[in-house]
């Protein structure tokens, strides 16, 4: 029996930040919070200005519960870009517009680089120069001096979801500059767009031109849309708890933690299994985000389109993390020149990347070798015009994928992962015109293409997974670049040199529940899209009592299969 004092203490703690109980879609405290939000929203949804202000405040509270006082950073970002949008729109001179846009982008990227890459650049500089500089938390130092707080100044903690809301905010000022969007009238409107809690910490990245017009539409939610929203929430919950967490805790995490303790076959199965885990984890989050937003009358960007049905690397990246792929395409790849040719900005970024790789290697020799190779390519390009044209047309593609890798973290592993995917795209452009398997209308060629694509993507993720922090205790840690690199190479060594197929039956039997779960996940994933649409629509049209029964059944099932404490979503760290 809960006493009055216990209940009161729980209520007080509900409003305080607790690193052991952050708001997460798989935790019951989030659904209490969301239920209260819906209750209040049901009384004010017709009063647009009040509603946006309320949703902005609860979104800030959600971020506070997720990442403590970093909600102030989110508030600053919203204030900065709200006024930058106003200045860009009101300014007539194109050159002055560019100045305000540059101020917006530099401030956003500056904050992102400070929190995400400060350790990387400091450690690399120390290694190259023989110095012993230490990272200082400027914000903590300033707060301690002005307000008498006692924050730790020698450690920078990465705010959850900073990359997502930074990219989202940049899209606003860019679209205002391009003339595709008028600045919002009220600060609360813009702040609500930047901080909207369902997709705040792990996406999808919502473009301002897609979301802001929805702010001024009347709230509407049909009976069928309500059912569809519930379906997406339940679908995401099953993906996260039943698929992602279960196979991770019971097999994948064990192998990646100490790959040399397992045979090549077990390492191979862990790599393939991780592809399902990261998909179920990330798409599970976005499914729930889409459903939660839909219940409030907002529609988020589709983020996944059955990526493991892809028949090529290019097809995969049209289906995977679509909001990030589209953001990089619209705000990086095309402005750099797309597939036409490299621009001055392309070459500047190329030089910066050579410098970053030299910092990662902590060696001036790498910078020297890279410079020599670059000069040789330039000389060959002048002699062989076809080579020069080919390099120009593929430069932006490689840079975009490398930046996409670096966006995930300052680590060799993420650079390699992005670079391998870039090489995969370039190779596909060369291979596709002469491929004997180009005709995908034949089912066996299609299956072969899907298998090859899935295998390539899975093997690149050896680097991605080894460079990721996957537990709550790891979220505040910096990347150990050396350990991450050798962990990935050790796994590949086990597969290529210590493969033992004789243990396959024993391994499959010992982890039969894990492999059955993986098989179920992949079979559902490969179902025809028309089938998936049919059962979604069937669920959406069910009578309300049947939906309630389904909710209770799914919750009961998911919490029966939980094998450990609730796991963070993988993309919280990005």
Is 525 an annotated catalytic residue?
Answer: no
User: Using an 8 Å Cβ cutoff, are 464 and 271 in contact?
Assistant: no
HSE value, Cβ hemisphere, 13 Å, CA-based, for 496: 7
Which pair of structure tokens corresponds to residue 51? 């509603």
User: Using an 8 Å Cβ cutoff, are 233 and 266 in contact?
Assistant: no
HSE value, Cβ hemisphere, 13 Å, CA-based, for 278: 22
User: What separation, in Å, do the N-terminal and C-terminal C-alpha atoms of the chain show?
Assistant: 41
Contacts of 465 (CB under 8 A, 6+ apart): 256, 274, 278
User: Using an 8 Å Cβ cutoff, are 169 and 81 in contact?
Assistant: yes
Using CA atoms, how far apart are residues 139 and 126, in angstroms rounded to an integer? 22
State the catalytic residue, choosing from 133, 186, 321, 408. 408
Evaluated on CA atoms 492, 493, 496, 499, the torsion sign reads negative
Which pair of structure tokens corresponds to residue 506? 């024993």
Using CA atoms, how far apart are residues 308 and 312, in angstroms rounded to an integer? 10
Using CA atoms, how far apart are residues 265 and 496, in angstroms rounded to an integer? 10
Instruction: Please write down the long-range contacts of 302-305, taking CB distance under 8 Å and 24 or more positions apart.
Output: 302/204, 303/203, 303/204, 304/279
CA angle 382, 388, 394 (to 5 degrees): 160
Backbone angles phi and psi of 467, in degrees to 5: -95, 0
- Which element (helix H / strand E) includes 34? helix 28-44
User: Using an 8 Å Cβ cutoff, are 196 and 293 in contact?
Assistant: yes
User: Using an 8 Å Cβ cutoff, are 66 and 19 in contact?
Assistant: no
Using CA atoms, how far apart are residues 295 and 233, in angstroms rounded to an integer? 10
Which pair of structure tokens corresponds to residue 448? 């072969």
Residues known to be catalytic? 408
């Amino acid at each position: 029996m809960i006493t009055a004092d216990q209940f009161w203490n729980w209520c007080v703690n509900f409003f305080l930040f607790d690193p052991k109980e952050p708001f997460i879609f798989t935790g019951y405290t989030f659904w209490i919070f969301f239920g209260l939000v819906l209750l209040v929203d049901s009384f004010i949804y017709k009063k647009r200005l009040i509603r946006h202000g309320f949703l902005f405040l609860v979104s800030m509270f959600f971020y506070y519960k997720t990442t403590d006082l970093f909600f102030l950073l989110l508030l600053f970002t919203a204030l900065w870009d709200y006024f930058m949008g106003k200045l860009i729109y009101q300014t007539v001179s194109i050159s002055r517009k560019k100045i305000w846009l540059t101020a917006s982008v530099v401030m956003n990227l500056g904050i992102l680089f400070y929190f995400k890459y400060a350790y990387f650049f400091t450690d690399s500089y120390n290694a190259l120069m023989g110095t012993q500089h230490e990272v200082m938390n400027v914000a903590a130092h300033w707060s301690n001096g002005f307000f008498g707080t006692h924050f730790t100044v020698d450690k920078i903690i990465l705010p959850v979801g900073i990359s997502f809301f930074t990219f989202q905010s940049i899209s606003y000022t860019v679209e205002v500059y391009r003339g595709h969007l008028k600045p919002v009238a009220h600060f609360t409107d813009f702040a609500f767009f930047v901080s909207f809690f369902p997709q705040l910490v792990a996406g999808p990245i919502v473009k301002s031109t897609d979301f802001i017009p929805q702010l001024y539409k009347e709230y509407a939610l049909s009976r069928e849309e309500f059912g569809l929203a519930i379906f997406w929430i339940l679908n995401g919950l099953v993906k996260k708890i039943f698929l992602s967490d279960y196979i991770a805790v019971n097999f994948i995490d064990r192998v990646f933690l100490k790959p040399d303790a397992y045979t090549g076959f077990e390492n191979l199965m862990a790599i393939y299994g991780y592809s399902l885990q990261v998909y179920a984890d990330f798409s599970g989050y976005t499914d729930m985000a889409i459903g939660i937003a839909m219940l409030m009358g907002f529609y988020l960007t589709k983020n996944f389109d059955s990526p493991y049905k892809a028949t090529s690397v290019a097809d995969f990246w049209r289906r995977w993390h679509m909001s990030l792929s589209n953001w990089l395409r619209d705000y990086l790849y095309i402005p750099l020149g797309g597939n036409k040719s490299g621009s001055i900005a392309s070459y500047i970024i190329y030089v910066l990347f050579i410098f970053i790789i030299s910092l990662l290697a902590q060696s001036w020799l790498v910078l020297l070798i890279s410079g020599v190779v670059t000069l040789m390519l330039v000389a060959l390009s002048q002699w062989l015009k076809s080579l020069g044209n080919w390099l120009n047309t593929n430069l932006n593609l490689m840079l975009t994928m490398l930046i996409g890798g670096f966006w995930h973290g300052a680590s060799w592993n993420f650079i390699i992962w992005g670079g391998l995917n870039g090489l995969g795209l370039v190779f596909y452009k060369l291979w596709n015109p002469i491929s004997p398997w180009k005709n995908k209308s034949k089912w066996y060629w299609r299956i072969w293409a899907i298998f090859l694509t899935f295998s390539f993507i899975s093997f690149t993720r050896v680097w991605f997974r080894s460079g990721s922090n996957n537990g709550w205790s790891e979220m505040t840690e910096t990347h150990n670049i050396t350990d991450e690199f050798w962990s990935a190479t050790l796994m590949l060594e086990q597969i290529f040199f210590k493969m033992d197929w004789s243990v396959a039956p024993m391994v499959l039997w010992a982890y039969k529940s894990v492999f059955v779960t993986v098989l179920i996940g992949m079979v559902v994933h490969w179902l025809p899209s028309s089938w998936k649409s049919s059962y979604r629509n069937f669920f959406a049209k069910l009578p309300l009592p049947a939906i309630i029964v389904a909710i209770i059944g799914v919750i009961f099932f998911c919490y029966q299969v939980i094998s450990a404490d609730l796991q963070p979503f993988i993309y919280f760290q990005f």
